[in-house]
Amino acid sequence: MRSHGPNAPQKPSSAFMYFLRYQCSQSNDLDSLPFNEKRSYASKTWQSMSQEQKQVYYDKVRTEQKAYDIKLAEYKKTDEYRQWLIKHENSKAARSKNGKSAKDMNGDTDSIDDEFASKFRRIEIFTPEFLDYNKQREMQLRNLRKEVTKQEEETASFSTHIDGLSSANSAMTQQIKSSEESLAQEEKLLTKFYQELASAFSSLQLPNLEASPRSHGKSFDRTTPDNIEAFLSKLMELIQSGHNEALKSKAKECLAAAIQSNSLSLCSI
């Protein structure tokens, strides 16, 4: 039921519902489908659209909302709205009364029944008054049906968005899990590579074994997976100085021997 009376202006639909109606107007095949199937089809298209494409429908909602606010303000100035408001407030007040006895309640029910019965007895069938009364009832019933349909469509729209968010959350969770597994695998490979490098260069002694800035003040008494990066950095520095050809040749021999013996499995010549 409308919150401002049976003849109050209708609230604008959601952006998705405008999009759904537009899609149906462009395709007879889509329009002929049951509502749930139309909603499902349009929802997939809606979720794949960019924000810029959706903005057309959001703008329409804003325009319709402004027009609705104006119409509602005008409607609230009418006698019909004032009468509806009085009836609405009286109905709320009646529902809030809790101190009546069962006898009083039965008496009130009888009086209401008598009031309606006397009213109907006063209206003769097929008179103009009777026909006008029926027209008003039919109009109220049509408005109620429209409102129910609109609420069902809005509910379906919310359900579609919730389903989409749930699917997106599941996909994101799976992606995070996959990334974590890949990262763990890469860390295992890196650890293995450091171990193999440390073993390959275990017999290589560097001249001038001062501590490297990357070795945190430790000298290279022996290569380990923890200091292999600093060791290789110092080795590259010595080789690039141009005065350690013998060291360069020895390093190549260490690498070749490790690869040939398959103790450096992640590298090849």
Q: What is the 3-state secondary structure (H, E, C) of the chain?
A: CCCCCCCCCCCCCCHHHHHHHHHHHHCHHHHCCCHHHHHHHHHHHHHHCCHHHHHHHHHHHHHHHHHHHHHHHHHCCCHHHHHHHHHHHHHHHHHHCCCCCHHHHHHHHHHHHHHHHHHHHHCCCCCHHHHHHHHHHHHHHHHHHHHHHHHHHHHHHHHHHHHHHHHHHHHHHHHHHHHHHHHHHHHHHHHHHHHHHHHHCCCCCCCCCCCCHHHCCCCCCCCCCCCHHHHHHHHHHHHHCCCCHHHHHHHHHHHHHHHHCCCCCCCCC
pLDDT tens digits, 37-50:
888 888 888 989 99
> What pLDDT is stored for residue 109 in this prediction?
45
Domains detected in the chain? 1-91 (1.10.30.10), 187-207+221-261 (no CATH)
pLDDT tens digits, 168-225:
888 898 899 989 999 999 999 999 999 989 898 888 888 754 444 444 444 566 788 8
Give pTM, 2 decimals: 0.40
